[in-house]
Chain A
Amino acid sequence: MRRSLFGRVWPGATAVVLFLAFVFPVYWMFATAFKANKDIVGDTPVWFPTSPTTEHFRRAVEADGFWTFVTNSLVTTLVAVLLSLVIALLASFAIARMRFRGRRGFILVMMMAQMAPWEVMVIAYYMMVRDADMLNSLPPLIAIYTLCVLPFTVLTLRGYVAAVPRELEESAMVDGCTRPQAFRKVIFPLLAPGLMATSLFGFITTWNEFPYVLILSKDPAAQTLPLWLTGFRTTFGDDWGATMAASSLFAVPILILFVILQRRAVGGLTSGAVKG
């Protein structure tokens, strides 16, 4: 009797403990960001912000060049993600729907490129960009981000394209559509969720990218938010309130996107990564 009660209770109890463990750092980030300074630096932590303040957010936003970093991050991320989506959509349609010589080679190249350790190749890229006299500008960042995101996008979209029944496309063509029309009117609408989910991961990768922007952009005018965020502590001393406000500002767009798109994205990721 006691044992079965225990057997019924422990999974739930463990789940609650785990939930707290996973949520706490996120909670603590937001809580610190809203707490008054005297509550942040005290001998006993204040677990809930009792007198919330937006002071830290003001400090973070008013930091030098904040809006430049935001703009740079948005521009690099959006351009890289859209560029890779367009390029990848074409390629994924070809490899999902057509048989042609070289198809296998192309897929293998994409798979190898997807696993390439970008973080390790910063020095070579730095030299290339330096030789081209393009340090401290956005285009080299956009190029490398597109390259990082592209293979994953191609391989994932391929799964989404393959999941659209061929019959739909064929019946549209029987009804008089040309192939491009069939693509536009039948396949593309069905692909939209897949496109959004795929772009989410491209967005996260690019939004977070750190090593390349670290070495390519010494000039604040061409830096992105990750550099701003990691440099925040050095700039502001141990102002944890402002640092956590900055982290919150950085994290919120991703958190929102992720929670909205997560369900589809997860399915897509597994079907792309782990084929049965």
Chain B
Amino acid sequence: MSAQTEEVTAGAAPPAGRGGAPPVRRRDGRRAGSAVPYLLILPAAVFTVLLLGWIMVENGLLSLQNLNRRQLIRRATEWTGLGNYTDTLGNSDFWRVTLRSIVFTAANVVLIMVIGCLIGLLLARLGKKLRLLLSLGLVLAWAMPVVATTTVFQWLFAQRFGVVNYVLDRLGWHAMADYNWTGGQFSTFFVITVLIVWQSVPFVAVNLYAATTTIPQELYEAAALDGAGVWKRFTSVTFPFLRPFFLATTFLEVIWIFKSFTQVFVINEGGPDRLTETLPVYAFVEGMNNQHFGMGSAISILTILILVTMTAYYLRLVLKQEEDEL
């Protein structure tokens, strides 16, 4: 791999020598007008723009077509204009799923952020050995591949012989002895939420702990001198100092949870009765399983628009920060 890198870099070098005049040769890379930076970013730019752009355009075109099983087999193109969009927007199912996705995302993100931050702050208070122990647990959960975790949680919450039902039964909640977790809407979402929170909290906790170590200790000493309690110290020192961290992490979690497909789909394929479909799963089931490809594409475009709207504030902030920096 390294050989390949060198070769390409070396191949890109000569134009630089030609482009820059001898006196500025050492700084030529930093001057605009040299071909080197363009050659370096070319593969990444072409690959991303072409493939991603193509997918986006294809997605847009498909959403304007009446493309079902019949048209797919005949390879026929039937344009319907905005028909798929008006159908989707006029469909109460779509709005129910949208509301469900937003509530689902909000609930998960709040849980992840609160639990993650509490654990992060706890890590900062612990002695060395216990901190290492807890970090080990967090890292294990963090490292577990999503697909494996999903299977494991199916086993934990299994109706027969599942350890969760056994423990609930032993704790005195006998109605849970043979409880079918995937039989109801709320209980299915409960399992999915526990699963997502379990695997997402470590990221927040470990990073928050790492971030707290960058807060100057003097700030806490000053706050303590002023008689600030635990809560006050959090709101007046920790939170303001880590504001960028909280903002970035919260919005990243919103994006990740909102578009999560694997966990929701694998646990119960959106069931029972399609009651646990979130937008990505809904688009998938409509488009791929029910073979309404045009409709599914329209739903996917609307999903992206909703996600962009939800994260617009953060996206604008990120873009602005980048612009200030450059």
Contact = CB atoms under 8 A, between A and B. Distances in A.
Contact of B155 (A32, A150, A226): A32
B117 to A, nearest CB: 13
A210 B58 contact: no
Contacts of B144: 25-26, 251, 254-255
A117 B140 contact: no
A240 B163 contact: no
Contacts of B31: 99
Nearest to B263: A210
A90 B297 contact: no
A120 B62 contact: no
Given A124-B300, A170-B26, A146 B47 contact: yes
Given A82-B1, A104-B323, A90 B41 contact: yes
A154 B151 contact: no
B138 interface: yes
Interface stretch (B90-98, B184-192, B241-249): B241-249
Interface string B130-144: 110110111111111
A100 B261 contact: no
B149 interface: yes
B300 A143 contact: no
Chain B contact residues: helix, strand, loop or mixed: helix
B151 A18 contact: no
A121 B145 CA distance: 22
A94 B147 contact: no
A147 B261 CA distance: 18
A111 interface: yes
A18 B13 contact: no
Contacts of A173: 26
B311 to A, nearest CB: 8
A111 B314 CA distance: 12
Contact of A151 (B48, B206, B266): B48
Given A115-B255, A123-B293, A178-B13, A147 B59 contact: no
A176 interface: no
Interface stretch (B104-112, B221-229, B281-289): B281-289
A180 B10 contact: yes
Contact of B147 (A19, A229, A275): A229
B143 A23 contact: no
Contact of A120 (B48, B119, B145, B304): B304
Contacts of A179: 13, 16, 29
Closest 4 CB pairs of A and B: A258-B143, A94-B40, A22-B137, A124-B59
28 contacts: A15-B126, A18-B137, A21-B198, A22-B140, A26-B144, A28-B155, A32-B155, A45-B161, A86-B8, A90-B41, A91-B43, A94-B38, A97-B29, A97-B30, A99-B31, A109-B48, A116-B52, A120-B259, A147-B52, A179-B13, A208-B146, A211-B284, A247-B152, A255-B140, A258-B142, A259-B139, A262-B143, A274-B245
Interface of B: 1-2, 4-6, 8-10, 12-13, 16, 26, 29-34, 36-38, 40-41, 43-45, 47-49, 51-52, 54-56, 58-59, 62, 119, 122, 125-127, 130-131, 133-134, 136-156, 158, 160-161, 163, 166, 198, 202, 206-207, 210-211, 244-245, 248-249, 252, 255, 258-262, 265-266, 279-280, 283-284, 287-288, 293, 296-297, 300, 303-304, 307, 311, 315, 318-319, 321-323, 325-326
Given A32-B155, A128-B58, 16 more contacts: A12-B126, A15-B126, A87-B47, A98-B34, A106-B41, A116-B52, A120-B304, A121-B56, A124-B62, A180-B13, A207-B145, A233-B151, A240-B161, A251-B145, A255-B144, A262-B143
